[in-house]
Structure 1
Amino acid sequence: MLINLMKFYNTFIFLLIGIEINPLALWRILPSILFVILAYQLGRILSVYLLLAGLRWFDRPIPLRWQHVLFLGNIKGSLSMALALSIPLALTGRDNIIALVFGAVLFSLVGQGLSLPWLVKRLQISRVSDVMQEAGQLQIQLIASKAAQDELDSLLKSGVLPKAVYEELWASYQARVAHSERVLRDLYNKHRAGQVQGDRSGLETIRRRLLLAEKGAVSDALRKRIVPEDLVHPYIKDLDEKLLTLADD
């Protein structure tokens, strides 16, 4: 609902300025519009590539492919146009400022907006590796089989399901569980041994969740004064170092 309202607001603001803009005025100030586009793109280059280059000294560096997306994702929209419309009517050059902003936003929405999906596809950011896809399918199968076994236990306890039928069905699901666990374990061992290069099977995500769960539990114990502070801080520091060693999702 909120997203739809934001889209309506952006469209309304853009149409409002479009009605007010004369196309000939845009053509006359085209060099100025190009200069504005160049200026905010240079600012984006400095804010993305230069600042994020120093991030490696404080935290995990952001991959260069994602930095390209952050740069091209610098899409201007309704906020820039709304600010332009808020300029007092008595201000000299107000119409030129509005035309400049409209031209820059138009380029941003059309040029960058249409090329962003192409860039994401070209960089293969959204591509799921074969190993990760296989691990995901196995996890789904494991979760579904475990849930079915829990339901079988409930049916047996309630007396709905005969013991013989329960054992047969439970064994069939257990075979699926054993297969999934065995293949997932093999994938994990290959991943740790470095035999799978460039593939992320989602195991780092699980490890990160476990480390974050540890950190949350220890921090909660510290707030409740269950454990001494001088012992908690080294433990949390060790957890943070382990989190930093994990690969990005």
Structure 2
Amino acid sequence: MSLEASAADIAIKQNLEQFLVVLSVSLSVATVSRIFSWFRQIPYTLLLVIVGLGLAFVDVRLVNLSPELILEIFLPPLLFEAAWNIRWRELKENWIPVVLFAVIGVIISVVGIALTLSQLTHLTLPIALLVGASLSATDPVSVVALFRELGASKKLTILMEGESLFNDGVAVVAFLLLVGIPLGTEVFSVTGTVISFFKFVGIGIGLGCLIGFGISYLTQRFDLPLVEQSLTLVSAYGTYLITEELGGSGVISVVTVGIILGNFGSRIGMNPRTRLLVSEFWEFIAFFVNSIVFLLIGDQIKFSSLGNNLDIIGVAILAVLITRLVSIYGLAKFSNVFTQVDISLSEQTVLWWGGLRGSVSIALALSVPVSVTGRQDIIDTVFGVVLFTLLIQGLSTQWVLKKLNLVGDQSLRQEYSELLARKIALGRVIDYFQTLDESPRVDSEFYRYEKNLVSGQLTSVEEKIDQLQTEYPQLKSIAMQLLKDKLLDIEADTYAELIRGGQLGTNLSPLILDILGEGEEK
């Protein structure tokens, strides 16, 4: 027993040391990228891949990348954080193109890539289908971060992020349905595949709604920030594991929970301070997980094996680009005809070029059973395509955005938002001065002097705000949105307070949005 215990302790120590090395390298890359201005031009996640490639080139392996590790430990928090931050109102406005890209687009991608590879390479159709399913999941983490940094339109950001959220789930379901074919345990049938698909997705959405709304109403009963923060973490992992155990799609379930808690639960069951704490917590978790995943993607590359499959990788890259082009331009045209969402040609081009592949594709490829003939071909092909999309498409997306004049006025909006925040803060300080009784221990002249200083600064801030509003009238929408959010927060906090006090039995649907919507229509 002592020898077994000793061996276990050594293994734990080695795993811990490897984890600390990975974390240290990731944080070093983050620090360097902020210190040197040249590195700021490269998205942080892509810089991690490049560093990982450098380590792989000199044959320094940080840790063995397990598909279970990504799917069960890394994937849930990444999905939950993205779903938590996506705004339901904006997603609802663009839901038709998002669903088209995420469902029909995945089908086009799987079929197109599979047929191309099976016709132009030595890969059999079952193996090619697995490659297609693995590469149909987009992972535009760095692109969405770039959109926000450069101030791209909200519509473009929500289309890219919404598609990625849902097509990950559809791609994983497609992969699970297809992986049994080369093993001989499954026979492809359109009817059976459709039934299985709806079963996976249905169980995922059902459990996601059950857990999401359950936690939302639970957090109405108490106001404990750390407990509520912990519940979101448990919901991300617990939902994924429970759904997978019951035969549903854990990815779809986690996305559903994240959207519900981020847009409904956080409004009715959390006060503004708790919402901020939870959002910052998940921002850290996403940074932490992305740092490890993207570094390990580069670190796991086997250059010798990739070199033996360059022809397959080249065909796969062309197939990925062409199928994405067909799905984006074709489905966007269909959406423009039948919906009010107008996706311009330049926006379609960015959506096409920005469809990067990443951690989900790698995890699916690595999860192919060892007994499958052609497993290494699948892994090499997927790794090669992922590298191309991250390093070529990812690094050139900023240039494409600028060439198509889709770079927004983010720096100006950031300055304006900061001025609005300072105005609110200084206004509260003035209110405090006005309600504060002049203490005999405080010199009255000093008291007036301090108050005049704050008043002068507030006047200066208000003048800058007026100047920016005059020069850039579009900035007024920011102040209007802040007012709407504040009014909605007041209403939601009031209902939550009444429920906690036992004066209200059930939550009421927000009335402010309907009132403001009617006002805008008039």
TM-score with structure 2 setting the length: 0.35
Cα gap change, 1:244/1:67 in structure 2, threshold over 3 Å: closer, same or farther?
farther
1:95 maps to 2:376:
yes
**Residue of structure 2 equivalent to 1:124:** 407
**Residue of structure 1 equivalent to 2:318:** 34
1:28-177 equivalences under 5 Å are 29-45=313-329, 56=340, 61=341, 70-121=351-402, 122-129=405-412, 132=413, 135-136=416-417, 138-139=419-420, 141-143=422-424, 145-146=426-427, 149=430, 150=432, 156-157=438-439, 159=441, 161-177=442-458
**Residue of structure 1 equivalent to 2:78:** none
Cα gap change, 1:52/1:72 in structure 2, threshold over 3 Å: closer, same or farther?
farther
Deviation string 1:75-121 (CA, Å, 9 cap, x unpaired) is 21122122112212332332332232122211210122102233445
Q: Residue type matched to 1:128 in 2?
A: S
1:188-203 equivalences under 5 Å are 197-200=473-476, 202-203=478-479
**Residue of structure 2 equivalent to 1:21:** 305
* Bigger Cα displacement from structure 2, 164-173 vs 118-127: 118-127
Asked if structure 1 preserves the Cα contact closer than 8 Å seen for 2:422 and 2:461, the reply is yes
Asked if structure 2 preserves the Cα contact closer than 8 Å seen for 1:145 and 1:173, the reply is yes
Cα gap change, 1:32/1:23 in structure 2, threshold over 3 Å: closer, same or farther?
same
Q: CA deviation at 1:26?
A: 1.2
Deviation string 1:16-38 (CA, Å, 9 cap, x unpaired) is 24356231421355224311332
3-state SS of paired residue (1:21): helix
3-state SS of paired residue (1:157): coil
Deviation string 1:204-227 (CA, Å, 9 cap, x unpaired) is 222221342355257558967769
Q: CA deviation at 1:73?
A: 3.5
Cα gap change, 1:116/1:219 in structure 2, threshold over 3 Å: closer, same or farther?
farther
3-state SS of paired residue (1:202): helix
Unaligned runs of 5+ in 2: 1-283
**Residue of structure 2 equivalent to 1:207:** 483
**Residue of structure 2 equivalent to 1:241:** 517
Cα gap change, 1:34/1:148 in structure 2, threshold over 3 Å: closer, same or farther?
same
Asked if structure 2 preserves the Cα contact closer than 8 Å seen for 1:73 and 1:112, the reply is yes
| Alpha-carbon RMSD | 4.5
Q: CA deviation at 1:40?
A: 3.9
Q: C-alpha distance in 2, partners of 1:204/1:62?
A: 24
TM-score with structure 1 setting the length: 0.65
Q: Residue type matched to 1:18 in 2?
A: K
Asked if structure 2 preserves the Cα contact closer than 8 Å seen for 1:44 and 1:71, the reply is yes
Asked if structure 2 preserves the Cα contact closer than 8 Å seen for 1:10 and 1:78, the reply is yes
Aligned pairs, how many? 231
Q: Whose RCO is larger (CA < 8 A, sep 6+)?
A: 2
